[in-house]
Structure 1
Amino acid sequence: MSGHSQSKTVGPLPDTTAESPFVPVALTWLVWSLLAASLGALVLRVRGGAAWEVPGLVAVDGLTVLMWVVVTFFSGIVHSYSRRYMAGSARKTAFFATTSGFTVVVMALVAADHVALFGLLWLVMGLLMAKLVGIAEGWEQAQAAATVARRYFLASSALLGVALTALWWTTGATTVSGIAAAAGTLGGPVWLVAAAALVLAAMIQSALVPFHTWLLSSMTAPTPASALMHAGFVNAGGILLTRFAPVVTVDPGLMLAVVAVGGASAIGGKLLKSVQTDIKGKLGCSTVGQMGFMIMQAGLGFFGAAITHLILHGFYKAYQFLSSGEQVAHTSPSEGTPHTTERLTSVVGVVVMLLTGLAGGALFAVLTGKGTTIDSGLLLTFFVTFTTLHAARSAVQRTSFSPVARYGAVPLVFLPAIVIYAVVYGAVSGLLSGVPMVTAPTELTLLHGALAVVFTAIYVGIETGVHERSQRLYVALLNAGQPSADTVLTASEDYNEY
């Protein structure tokens, strides 16, 4: 049959009373054990500032233990979920082995200090994720998606290799910590090559526009692999920029460029999402936009905010993917099909939305101190206000609740959420206090203001439907949001190998 080999990879539904194979069970318990150990390391770090290192090779700091907890938690959820999801697949053991290997590699990556070890682990991480994308060996579209992902990941690794080589050449340091210590000597064309290569490597790994094709082509991956990818793998770009913050913060012009590419991807993800018709495609475009916000926060100099964003986005996106099957209703649309949203026309609704957004921004500024001085913290608070306003608008538009319930619930839900976000941000920033340049606000310029104005104008245009009036824009977005042609299923029979 088209798109498949003769060998079967999926069997009958499993007997839920039977015991699972040993390898998936053992690896699942291993990952949960790693989470317990990571939590222990986190407690030791918080209580006593404990740090461990193998000089010149490995250094465990606040960022390391935090990422250990996050990675093992998401991986544990994925492992447990997959024991039922992958049941009956001939590739079940290979899937669990690859997923566990990916987890261990990421844990090693965030602890690696030697530049050669860091670069090698970055490469292996990408190759393992590509293998998860193409885990169904007899499925041609899955293999094509794995090939697309592998090409992008190899390009990211090559760029990282260029950056690390240039930094070693300039500073003479062979460790990440050594490069950070020598950041004051950086500058000139070699630094520019290194910094640009770092940013490009982060953009590819985080699937920012225009490098988002690999992410949209990866929908052939099993849903748990997609959850791990969107909740963890794409966050590597933010971790990379945070690790090498002393390098990218040398020049304000480069930081402004990082803000620009992050903002472009944030808007681009929202535009691409507007023309997607399937749930996983919409989730993929949402990730593109959210990673844009993460990179933008790094460009503003708030690397702690970027790490906070990737953690909270990871929780949200993992849930969204693992529950995506519940969102598919097997019913045909009709005239009686209720709509879940409506155009915002109520004056009361507009007032509630605006006040909630402004109150959210003010609350964030008071709790974190960001936006109280004339620096890029103002722009960070502006985007928090913007995000709160957008979330409030979406809630106000819901027609399944009465107006009183909607208008009353919006501030009661979103203002406590801002408090939680600010508390998490403060906790993360405190834990990362030993990481170089975790907070490095940049000076505001007219270009920052222009970027904010352009961002706002485009967003308002999208929300008011201006972009829907242009057929040319619609076609351009439709083309830009297409996965690689070889990864697309063209016949319904390709979903079923029987």
Structure 2
Amino acid sequence: MTDGTQHRSVGSLPAMENHAARVPAALTRLVWAMFLGTLVLAGTFARTDPTWAVEGLVVIDGLTVVMWTVVTLFSGIVHSYARRYLAGNPAETQFFTRVFAFTLVVMVVVAADHIALFAAAWLAMGLLMAALIGHVDGWPQAQAAARTARRYFVGSSLVIAASLALLWSATGATTITGMLDAVGGLSTTTAVLAAAGLVVAAMIQSALLPFHTWILSSMTAPTPASALMHAGFVNAGGVLLARFAPVVTVEPPVMLAIVGVGAASALGGKLLKSVQSDIKGQLGCSTVGQMGFMIMQAGLGFFGAAITHLILHGFYKAYQFLSSGTAVEHTSPSAVSHHTVGFNGVGTLIVTVVTGLLGGALFAILTGKGTIVNGGLLLTFFVTIATLHAARSTVQHTSLPATVRYAAVPLVFFPAIIIYAVVYEAISFMLADLPVVTASTELTLLHGGIAVVFVGVYLAIETGIHEGSGRLYVTLLNLTQPVSDSLLTTTEDYNEY
């Protein structure tokens, strides 16, 4: 029952009359000031391409400037959102302190040159994120999720430490720049082992299969922490591979393996998402798939494309998590789920296929990728598939007359591809001072096999063929389960009313 009185839920923030309440406001203003500072830094860097460094400790290059700008922007958005989300929470100041500390640590990770500083910052980044996942001290499920994440992140740090120790032993250099300069003198065994460790660490960080359990167990995190995690934290795997590109590109089999694990997670994430019923679980599985695409781009040698992908994915996923509450609705079960709708007629099939092909061709023309037979052709192929998929979803899930939808799709997606190509070229320009920005790989039969399998599985998912197997459904359902201790089994676990 209700007395009919409506309470204002949107408006100015509550008055802050004590020191604890003023801390979040101060940190929010500070992080936005940092963002404005990084914009000035980026503009200066783009015009003059200076060399800024503290010898043997940190280096401020194009990757640093780009990531500082992105990190502070996302952090500012999360800080601002959390001021209302956590208003009145007893641990509000602790949460903001952790988020701000996390921001600073990530900035250290992307600027660190000394291997000890880089390794320490990488570990601190993981520990702070685990603390954010377990923010609610009295919630056993949150603490279980934090313990799971912490184990994964410590494991990632140990693998990175082992790779850095191996490179230090082989090169004698204590800085990342020194190691990268000496990569050409590494033995094949040393290069492969070091690269393998870096790839595994990137897979753990980016929650690629089979290391995805930590991210599916992390749904106990406050929504602002989830947004920061999915928009920024998981992207560090792509940054790691871009920073150590000279190491991972030494041996072609390593690059091929990166493409393989990326493609597996790209498809696996989509399959896992198909059996999820809650919105945050779907977003988590989507992140697994999107990080697979990012890693796959790095494996093709297009590190600028990987950084572009992680930035655009960060914007998208931050929006999705911060608006996840509006996506919750009460509906009755239906015989056909929303993802098994096929192509719903010849018109939809023609429009989506033509849009995908023309979108891929436009990307190739604007970026020069795919115009010759090398790894760029496979990159353009995946852009084509992504455009086709997005066009199909738009046509089938938009409540407009069919003719309007068919006509609107090209008008929406072609400008989007142009924007993507412009951002890609801009990011590549900013990363030009890295040792390796593009290391296009030669196409092999294995690349072709990956493409064929990718298309086959994608078509099976889009047409719903995979839902005919009960065994596959159970397997996917099991793979999406978080650790048992983090599961909420009764309403009383999370609802005190």
TM-score with structure 2 setting the length: 0.95
Q: CA deviation at 1:113?
A: 0.4
Task: Please state if 1:327 is matched with 2:327.
Answer: yes
Find the aligned partners of 1:81 and 1:484 in 2 and give their Cα distance: 29
CA separation of 1:468/1:340 partners in 2, compared to 1, >3 Å: closer, same or farther? Answer: closer
Task: Please state if 1:188 is matched with 2:188.
Answer: yes
Query: What does the per-residue CA deviation read over 1:59-114, in whole Å, with 9 as the maximum and x for residues that have no partner?
Result: 00000010000000000000000000001211100000000000000011101001
Alignment of 1:182-331 (within 5 A): 182-329=182-329, 331=330
Aligned pair partner of 2:16 in 13, 16, 19? 19
CA contact (8 A) 2:192 2:251 kept: no
SS in 2 for 1:496: coil
User: Amino acid of the residue matched to residue 194 of structure 1?
Assistant: A
User: Amino acid of the residue matched to residue 400 of structure 2?
Assistant: F
CA contact (8 A) 2:209 2:264 kept: yes
CA contact (8 A) 1:339 1:399 kept: no
CA separation of 1:454/1:337 partners in 2, compared to 1, >3 Å: closer, same or farther? Answer: closer
CA contact (8 A) 2:267 2:454 kept: yes
Query: What does the per-residue CA deviation read over 1:165-192, in whole Å, with 9 as the maximum and x for residues that have no partner?
Result: 0011111111111111111112332222
Find the aligned partners of 1:334 and 1:169 in 2 and give their Cα distance: 60
* Residue matched to 1:110: 110
Q: CA deviation at 1:226?
A: 0.1
Q: Say which is worse superposed, 174-183 or 302-311, in terms of deviation.
A: 174-183
Query: What does the per-residue CA deviation read over 1:218-248, in whole Å, with 9 as the maximum and x for residues that have no partner?
Result: 0000000000000000000000000000000
CA separation of 1:335/1:167 partners in 2, compared to 1, >3 Å: closer, same or farther? Answer: closer
Taking only the aligned residue pairs, the percentage that are identical comes to 64
Q: CA deviation at 1:332?
A: 4.3
* Residue matched to 1:168: 168
Q: Say which is worse superposed, 190-199 or 302-311, in terms of deviation.
A: 190-199
Gaps of 5+ in 1: 1-12
User: Amino acid of the residue matched to residue 19 of structure 1?
Assistant: M
User: Amino acid of the residue matched to residue 403 of structure 1?
Assistant: A
* Residue matched to 1:433: 432
SS in 1 for 2:220: coil
CA separation of 1:332/1:415 partners in 2, compared to 1, >3 Å: closer, same or farther? Answer: closer
Task: Please state if 1:138 is matched with 2:135.
Answer: no
* Residue matched to 1:4: none
Find the aligned partners of 2:288 and 2:87 in 1 and give their Cα distance: 31
Find the aligned partners of 2:257 and 2:400 in 1 and give their Cα distance: 43
CA separation of 1:399/1:42 partners in 2, compared to 1, >3 Å: closer, same or farther? Answer: closer
CA separation of 1:454/1:336 partners in 2, compared to 1, >3 Å: closer, same or farther? Answer: closer
Find the aligned partners of 1:339 and 1:167 in 2 and give their Cα distance: 49
Task: Please state if 1:128 is matched with 2:125.
Answer: no
* Residue matched to 2:35: 35
Alignment of 1:415-430 (within 5 A): 415-430=414-429
CA contact (8 A) 2:58 2:114 kept: yes
User: Amino acid of the residue matched to residue 26 of structure 1?
Assistant: A
SS in 2 for 1:232: helix
* Residue matched to 1:412: 411
Task: Please state if 1:391 is matched with 2:409.
Answer: no
CA separation of 1:291/1:375 partners in 2, compared to 1, >3 Å: closer, same or farther? Answer: same
* Residue matched to 1:8: none
CA contact (8 A) 2:274 2:339 kept: no
Q: CA deviation at 1:286?
A: 0.1
CA separation of 1:123/1:488 partners in 2, compared to 1, >3 Å: closer, same or farther? Answer: same
Find the aligned partners of 1:269 and 1:334 in 2 and give their Cα distance: 23
* Residue matched to 2:492: 493
Find the aligned partners of 1:166 and 1:446 in 2 and give their Cα distance: 32
RMSD of aligned Cα (Å): 1.9
CA contact (8 A) 1:187 1:250 kept: no
* Residue matched to 1:94: 94
Query: What does the per-residue CA deviation read over 1:410-447, in whole Å, with 9 as the maximum and x for residues that have no partner?
Result: 11101110000000000000000001111100111111
SS in 2 for 1:53: strand
CA separation of 1:340/1:386 partners in 2, compared to 1, >3 Å: closer, same or farther? Answer: closer
Find the aligned partners of 1:243 and 1:342 in 2 and give their Cα distance: 42
* Residue matched to 2:445: 446
* Residue matched to 1:9: none
Q: Which stretches of structure 1, 4 residues or more, deviate above 6 A after TM superposition?
A: 334-341
CA contact (8 A) 1:14 1:88 kept: no
Find the aligned partners of 1:31 and 1:220 in 2 and give their Cα distance: 25
CA separation of 1:343/1:457 partners in 2, compared to 1, >3 Å: closer, same or farther? Answer: closer
Find the aligned partners of 2:85 and 2:344 in 1 and give their Cα distance: 44
* Residue matched to 2:5: none
* Residue matched to 1:158: 158
CA separation of 1:452/1:110 partners in 2, compared to 1, >3 Å: closer, same or farther? Answer: same
Find the aligned partners of 1:336 and 1:461 in 2 and give their Cα distance: 19
Alignment of 1:435-474 (within 5 A): 435-474=434-473
Q: CA deviation at 1:374?
A: 1.4
Find the aligned partners of 1:37 and 1:495 in 2 and give their Cα distance: 41
* Residue matched to 1:356: 355
Find the aligned partners of 2:46 and 2:105 in 1 and give their Cα distance: 24
Query: What does the per-residue CA deviation read over 1:19-46, in whole Å, with 9 as the maximum and x for residues that have no partner?
Result: 2711101110110011011111101100
SS in 2 for 1:113: coil
CA contact (8 A) 2:213 2:482 kept: yes
Q: CA deviation at 1:15?
A: 9.3
SS in 2 for 1:409: helix
User: Amino acid of the residue matched to residue 185 of structure 1?
Assistant: G
Q: CA deviation at 1:340?
A: 9.9
SS in 2 for 1:301: coil
SS in 2 for 1:350: helix
* Residue matched to 2:71: 71
CA contact (8 A) 1:301 1:376 kept: yes
CA contact (8 A) 1:461 1:467 kept: yes
Find the aligned partners of 1:15 and 1:293 in 2 and give their Cα distance: 40
* Residue matched to 1:7: none
Query: What does the per-residue CA deviation read over 1:274-312, in whole Å, with 9 as the maximum and x for residues that have no partner?
Result: 000000000000000000000000000000000000000
Find the aligned partners of 1:45 and 1:138 in 2 and give their Cα distance: 47
Find the aligned partners of 1:423 and 1:173 in 2 and give their Cα distance: 37
CA separation of 1:346/1:105 partners in 2, compared to 1, >3 Å: closer, same or farther? Answer: same
SS in 1 for 2:53: strand
Q: CA deviation at 1:401?
A: 1.4
CA separation of 1:14/1:96 partners in 2, compared to 1, >3 Å: closer, same or farther? Answer: farther
